[in-house]
Amino acid sequence: MLKLPSLLVSLCLLPAAHAATECVMPPLQQSEKSPQLAEATKQLRTSNPCKVVAGLSAKSLGTVWAGLLSSKKTGGRRLEPAVPDGMPNGTVLGGAGGVHFDLRSVAAEGIRSFQLVRGNQPLAVNLATALEFDVPASGSEAYQWSLVTRSATYHGEYILADQAERREVEAQLAQLERAALDPVARLVYQAAIYDEANLFAERDRVYQQLRALLAL
């Protein structure tokens, strides 16, 4: 049986041990598909998440890395096709030009129609000029979109992150920008920041960049 002083010391050491664990990079899954992937793994293992971005856990980097190597996708709605890469869904950060749409991943299916609604108000979108475009967005209302191709019908819904969430993410991204990291490691950290903030559309766009860089 532990004596009281020993027990108190043990309890005091728990937070420190937990904090140390948060800074240790978890095991990163390997793949034989890409030599670039092996090099990226080495680069990430030498980084310290607690020093690169304050408040970012090493566990998040492991989660993002596993997601990067996974081909599993989930749909926007149950029993419906997965939301295509490049399309906003869930909470989104948005940019100076608004929320970004990229329909290139389904262009080969033959796009028949695209509709975007805010509340009960349809918004005009012209697909004749480009498959990538930004839609101005504001407020807290949800936006719903539907995309019909010759192969499937896709649905998604998104809202803008609130100001507090936006400020926190932007502060972490600014800290990341100052870190000395190679391009792949920087993108993995960026994806982890978005993942922790539940900004999955932004995270998935970073996944697209990483898969291109790593030839996945």
The per-residue pLDDT string of the chain (216 residues; one tens digit each, 9 = 90 and over) reads 545 554 444 444 434 444 445 777 777 776 666 677 777 777 788 888 878 888 888 888 888 888 888 766 544 455 678 899 889 999 998 877 789 999 998 999 999 999 999 988 898 877 766 788 888 888 888 999 999 999 999 999 999 998 899 899 999 999 999 988 888 889 999 999 999 999 998 998 899 888 888 877
Cβ of 146: how many Cβ atoms within 10 Å?
15
pLDDT score of 149: 94
132 closest CA partner among 97, 102, 99: 102
Alpha helix ranges (H) inside the chain:
4-22, 35-45, 49-52, 58-69, 163-177, 183-196, 200-213
pLDDT score of 129: 67
Q: Determine the Cα–Cα distance for residues 208 and 80; give it in Å rounded to an integer.
A: 22
